[in-house]
C-alpha cells in the first residue's frame, strides 16, 4: 500500500490550502508544495519540475494529488517518475498531451478571473464565491486574502505528456463547482480509472476536508495487493466493485 501523499495546489493557492486535509492524514507521510507559477512569473515547466523534485525528495511510491490547474502540473511532472504510483485529480484539469489550460477554456477567461499580462492572472475582487461557494464566510475570506497571482505562461503552455496515461488515476467531481462546471469535469473524468463525487464547490479541501481525506485513503487502498486481488476475483465471478 502507498503510504506517502504529495499534495499539489491549483492556481493562486499554496501548500497552505491543504492544511486541514494533511491533518486528517497524519498517520501517513504527507508533503504539500507551492507551485512556482503562483509567483506570477514561472511557467508549466517550472511547476512540473517542482512536482518531480518533491517526488524525488519523498523517495518512495506516492499518491500524487492535483487540484484544478494542479492537475496539469501533476500530469506533466509525475510522468516518468519512479516515485509516482497513482494520481488523484481533484476537480482538476485532466488534459491530453498537447493541450493547455487556455485550450480547455476555449481561450476565454471567465469574468471572475482578472488578467494582467505582466503580473499574471488573479481572482477578481469580490468573486470569492466562484472558488469557495460552500465554505463558511470566515474561511472563504481568510483563503481569499492569501491568494497570489499566477503566470499567464502557466495556463498558456501545452502539456507535453500526461501521466494518467500510464498510472492509475481517480477523478473527484465537485458537484457544486462554480469554477470548473461539473459537466466539464464529467468529460475529463471519463479518462480516469475511478471516479468519486463530493457535493462541494471548487475548494473541498477547505469546505469538506473529511471527505477529501477519505477519498485519498480509498485511492491509497486501491494500490493494496489484497484489494487488487479481491477486485480481480470479483471481476472473474461477475461481481461489480
Collapse the DSSP code of 197 into the 3-class scheme (helix H, G, I; strand E, B; otherwise coil) and give the result: strand
Q: What is the pLDDT of residue 118?
A: 63
How high is the pLDDT of residue 107?
83
Residue 224 pLDDT class (50, 70, 90 cuts):
low
Q: What's the full length of the chain, in residues?
A: 241
> Per the residue annotation, which of 202, 210, 223, 224 is the catalytic one?
202
Q: What is the mean pLDDT of residues 223-229?
A: 46
Sign, Cα dihedral of 131, 136, 140, 143: negative
Q: Which three cell numbers stand for residue 102?
A: 487556455
Inform me whether the pLDDT recorded for 62 exceeds 50. yes
pLDDT for 117 = 64
Catalytic annotation on 116?
no
Segments making up each domain of the chain, as ranges: 4-236
- 196 in Cβ contact with 172 (< 8 Å): yes
Fold of 4-236: Rossmann fold (3.40.50)
- Specify whether 177 is catalytic: yes
pLDDT tens-place string over residues 9-46: 999 999 999 999 999 999 999 999 999 999 888 999 99
Report yes or no on whether pTM surpasses 0.85. yes
Residue identified by cell 498517520 is: 27
Q: For the residues of 125-160, what is the DSSP string, one character each?
A: TT-THHHHTTS-HHHHHHHHTT---B-HHHHHSPPS
User: Mean pLDDT throughout 37-61?
Assistant: 95
Residue pLDDT, tens place only, 147-196: 998 998 999 999 999 999 999 999 999 999 999 999 999 999 999 999 99
Encode 105-129 in three state secondary structure. Answer: CCCCCCCCEEEECCCEEEECCCCCH
- Asked if pLDDT for residue 115 goes beyond 90, the answer is no
Report how far residue 66's alpha carbon sits from residue 63's, in angstroms, rounded to the nearest whole number: 10
190: alpha, beta or left? (left if phi > 0; alpha if psi -120 to 50): alpha
pLDDT in tens, 122-156: 766 666 889 999 999 999 999 999 999 899 899 99
Which one is catalytic: 46, 47, 134, 177?
177
SS3 103: helix
Query: What are the b/e assignments for 99-118, b being 16+ CB within 10 Å?
Result: bbbbbbeeeeeeebbeeeee
Amino acid at each position: 500500500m502507498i503510504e506517502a501523499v504529495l499534495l499539489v495546489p491549483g492556481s493562486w493557492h499554496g501548500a497552505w490550502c491543504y492544511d486541514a486535509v494533511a491533518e486528517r492524514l497524519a498517520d501517513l507521510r504527507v508533503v504539500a508544495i507551492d507551485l512556482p507559477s503562483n509567483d506570477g512569473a514561472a511557467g508549466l515547466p517550472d511547476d512540473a519540475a517542482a512536482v518531480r523534485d518533491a517526488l524525488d525528495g519523498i523517495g518512495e511510491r506516492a499518491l500524487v494529488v492535483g487540484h484544478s490547474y494542479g492537475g496539469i502540473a501533476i500530469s506533466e511532472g509525475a510522468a516518468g517518475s519512479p516515485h509516482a504510483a497513482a494520481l488523484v485529480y481533484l476537480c482538476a484539469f485532466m488534459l491530453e498531451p498537447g493541450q493547455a489550460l487556455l485550450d480547455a477554456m476555449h481561450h476565454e477567461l471567465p469574468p471572475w478571473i482578472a488578467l494582467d499580462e505582466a503580473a499574471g492572472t488573479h481572482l477578481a475582487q469580490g468573486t470569492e464565491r466562484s472558488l469557495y461557494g460552500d465554505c463558511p464566510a470566515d474561511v472563504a475570506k481568510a483563503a481569499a486574502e492569501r491568494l497570489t497571482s499566477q503566470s499567464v505562461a502557466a495556463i498558456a503552455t501545452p502539456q507535453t505528456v500526461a501521466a494518467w496515461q500510464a498510472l492509475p488515476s481517480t477523478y473527484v467531481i465537485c458537484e457544486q463547482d462554480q469554477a470548473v462546471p461539473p459537466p466539464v469535469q464529467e468529460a475529463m473524468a471519463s479518462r480516469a480509472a475511478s471516479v468519486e463525487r463530493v457535493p462541494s464547490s471548487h475548494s473541498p479541501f477547505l469546505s469538506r476536508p473529511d471527505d477529501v481525506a477519505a477519498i485519498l485513503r480509498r485511492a491509497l487502498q486501491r494500490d493494496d495487493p489484497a484489494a487488487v486481488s479481491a477486485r480481480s476475483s470479483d471481476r472473474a465471478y461477475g461481481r461489480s466493485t
